[in-house]
Structure 1
Amino acid sequence: MTNFFKYELVGTGWAKFEIANDRNKSLDFIFSYLADPLPILLNSLNKFLKKESCFERINFAQEPCEISLFFKNLDNDLTIEFYDDVLLDDDYEAIAIDSTKVYFQDDKLLDFSKLVYKEINNLLIEYSESGYHEKWARDFPIAEMNALGKLLNEDGRN
């Protein structure tokens, strides 16, 4: 189970993604604004909670490469996978066969969504929408954030 999630702005146009589980296995990397993974992450969680998707790939731009995290949701059991040396290939099955799995985590969708929401809300509090835009050079994904908050508050989920 994921017990630590951090998404922080570390410089103008640069951010850090960090995740760790209860078995002390972690993954962290720095990426650039050339990709905007935060709204995609939030939107992916929204899709999962609304049962509109069961698989999402989130790309994080590094210069000159790219990192991808793979999220699979089956019956509210969320699996997060990261593979080393993944080429820009859309064939998940080929990636899973030809690459070394570096990080693998099983979570409950609701627990992970709450953890992400709390961290991203802290990011918004720290920077505000305008401060986030100034540091990241893109708008804060307020619509995706509000949608996730609404879904988490429905039926006493939050």
Structure 2
Amino acid sequence: MTVATVVTALGALGAGVMAGVYVAFSVMVMPSLDRRPPHEAVAFMQETNRWAVRPGFQVWFSGTAVVAVALVVLAFAAEDVERGWLLAGSFAYLLTIVLTGAFHIPRNNAIDAVDASDAEASRVAWVGYSRPWTLGNHVRAVLSGIALLAYATALAA
């Protein structure tokens, strides 16, 4: 087993875990929050955003990004690798990082600034937050799934 094989398998695992996280949020968590009073939904997302920067999530989220960058390097440096599939998987996963930074984090920061005890402020904030955030999250799920499939294809080739 080569280093490239091990790193590709780690990339596939990380992308798969993150695809699962994004899908779960999109199809279970966010619809459930939409059915709760807005002040509860806002408070939940505020707490979730605080937990997202802890190691349990960051190992998968950021660790997979590090692996994706390593796979870009390996795609050009190693012999006998599926360069196109490694680059496609890494590009797809790294797009999730860009999307998170450019789209989700600003929205998370805005929801974090809301006083969850203020019912009207929470209602206004949640109405403007939930749908766009969830649609962007769907995109992250699809991109992570594409990364998983590309890495798996590289492993199978």
Greater RCO, 1 or 2 (C-alpha within 8 Å, sep 6+): 2
Radius of gyration: which is bigger?
A: 2
Fold match by TM threshold 0.5:
no
Which category of TM-score, normalised to the shorter sequence, fits these structures? 0.3 to 0.5
TM-score, normalising length from structure 1? 0.33
